[in-house]
Amino acid sequence: MELNDITGQIIAAALKVHTVIGPGLLESVYQSCLHHELQKRGLQSAIEVPLPVIYEGLRIESKFRLDLIVENRIIVEFKCVDVLLPIHKAQLLTYLRLSNKPLGLLLNFNVVHMKDGIKRVLNNRYQKTFGAGQS
């Protein structure tokens, strides 16, 4: 499955979750619901995945956790904030770089319309070159 197909499924599932339960809840609630929705759609996903830091060849076990990873390719970072800030995007980009994943979605569920809470973040350091239809 191509990245655009996977992200489309993630976004559709996020829209459904937001429509059913609405804004204003904890990130963990949306995380569990989205994980469930993705499993129903036949997508592999894992929550709270440990993320070590590699610094100059040294592996540092950290307390960092990826909120959700889908098909072992796309990181989903959950937020429930009034406004997404540049640091939120930077955080996701750091996670993408540390994990060497190509793409991430930043989902802010604390919005009236979920479409206003979705940001797509591309890892510009990803080792593979994106071909047509891959990003």
Distance (Å, rounded) from C-alpha 79 to C-alpha 102?
Answer: 20
Question: Does residue 47 form part of some domain?
Answer: yes
Flag whether 133 is in a domain.
no
Residue 17 parent element (H or E) = helix 3-21
Q: What is the pLDDT of residues 31-50, one digit of tens each?
A: 999 999 999 999 999 999 99
Tell me if 128 is assigned to some domain: no
- Residue 132 confidence (pLDDT): 34
Percentage of the chain lying above the pLDDT 70 cut: 93
Residues 98 and 19: their CA atoms lie apart, in Å, by: 33
> How many distinct structural domains can be found in the chain?
1
pLDDT in tens, 9-38: 999 999 999 999 999 999 999 999 999 999
pTM metric for this prediction: 0.88
Please tell me whether residue 107 adopts helix, strand or coil conformation. strand
CATH code of the domain in which 73 resides:
3.40.1350
Q: How many CB atoms lie within 10 A of CB 2?
A: 13
User: Does residue 68 lie within any of the structural domains?
Assistant: yes
Q: What is the dihedral of CA 109, 92, 3, 122, to 10 degrees?
A: 120
- In which residue are the tokens 């919005």 written? 111
57-61, 63-67, 95-99, 104-108: range with highest mean pLDDT? 104-108
Q: For residue 129, is it within any domain?
A: no
Assess if residue 118 is contained within a domain: yes
Which one, of 63, 26, 33, lies nearest residue 48 by Cα? 63
> How high is the mean pLDDT of the chain?
91
**Domain assignment of residue 23, given as a range:** 3-122
